[in-house]
Structure 1
Amino acid sequence: MTMNALTASAAALFFNHDGEVLIVNPTYKDHWNLPGGAVDIEQGENPYDAAVREVREELGITPPIGRLLVHAWLTVPGRGAQVLYVFDGGVLDHDTQAAITLQASELSEYRFCPPHGMEDGLIPPHLAGVWQQALIAHAEDRITYVPVRL
């Protein structure tokens, strides 16, 4: 990120029938994450379309993406900010799960984990609160704003 840059990312929160959350292991980061990625602002892409595109590219599936769960603002002192949107991906049926084909250039693996297991060092520590707020927003059928200062 360049000095005083503003970037935007979008992700989807998916569950299996056991209530576990789908997380992916990026090849270029130290932690697991939700499927998603950068919003292509220069191409006029909006966050919802970015979430749909990223899921298709990273997982090879096109399940319906639902409503916004979280709008997070991550401030990085001296560097800028990142806006993160998390959308509700709903429950993936068995056929959709079986159709997952990882984008090998970006992801090494995926798994479903219990929601409380997302905090055990798997995900970026600064995003733990964002993911927990996404789980709460999903359960309570609401949208949440989460400010994060790094």
Structure 2
Amino acid sequence: MTMSTLTASAAAVFFNHDGEVLIVNPTYKKYWNLPGGAVDIDQDEPPYDAAVREVREELGISPHIGRLLVHAWITIPGTGAQVLYVYDGGILSPEQQAAITLQESELSEYRFCAPRDLGPDLVPPHLDTVWQAVITAHAERRLVDVTVRL
């Protein structure tokens, strides 16, 4: 029997006053993403704390991070699974947006994008279900639990 691995990640979703979502372009991946990253399981870091830390590290700002919006269970055949927690970062003020300073070792750029434009050229097609859950959870102000089998 082979050992599968389980990883945990946490992110926050932010919007501007026009209803566009903040996405970041990682230097080490093909697709855009939400600000966030790995939960430090070895240090007993809770997912919420990881989201707060990752936003501070990646964007250089410390906005209030609200409640959990999405819990996603993503299985990867032959590899294991990933659990993803996405929290509500709310609406960033123009001042907060102007204060964004990217962590250049991980991110090359950021932008705001209309949710309807989050297509396969921007976000990973296999994670479309997760992106749609994030948009739905934010719009309907409720927790969405989603399972993705790759």
TM-score bracket, normalised by the shorter chain, equals: over 0.9
CA distance in 1 between counterparts of 2:28 and 2:120 reads 20
CA distance in 2 between counterparts of 1:62 and 1:55 reads 7
CA distance in 1 between counterparts of 2:119 and 2:48 reads 25
For structure 2, the 5+ residue unaligned runs are none
Displaced runs of 4 or more, over 4 A: none
> What does the per-residue CA deviation read over 1:44-93, in whole Å, with 9 as the maximum and x for residues that have no partner?
10110000000000000000000101000000011100000111000000
Tell me the number of residue pairs that the alignment of Structure 1 and Structure 2 aligns: 149
Aligned to 1:22: 22
Aligned to 2:35: 35
CA distance in 1 between counterparts of 2:120 and 2:43 reads 37
SS in 1 for 2:29: coil
CA distance in 2 between counterparts of 1:14 and 1:132 reads 15
Conservation of the 8 A alpha-carbon contact between 1:4 and 1:79: yes
CA distance in 2 between counterparts of 1:11 and 1:128 reads 16
Aligned to 2:128: 128
Aligned to 1:51: 51
> What does the per-residue CA deviation read over 1:79-127, in whole Å, with 9 as the maximum and x for residues that have no partner?
1000001110000000000000000000000000000111242011122
Aligned to 2:4: 4
User: What TM-score results when the alignment is normalised by the length of structure 1?
Assistant: 0.97
For structure 1, the 5+ residue unaligned runs are none
Conservation of the 8 A alpha-carbon contact between 1:3 and 1:78: no
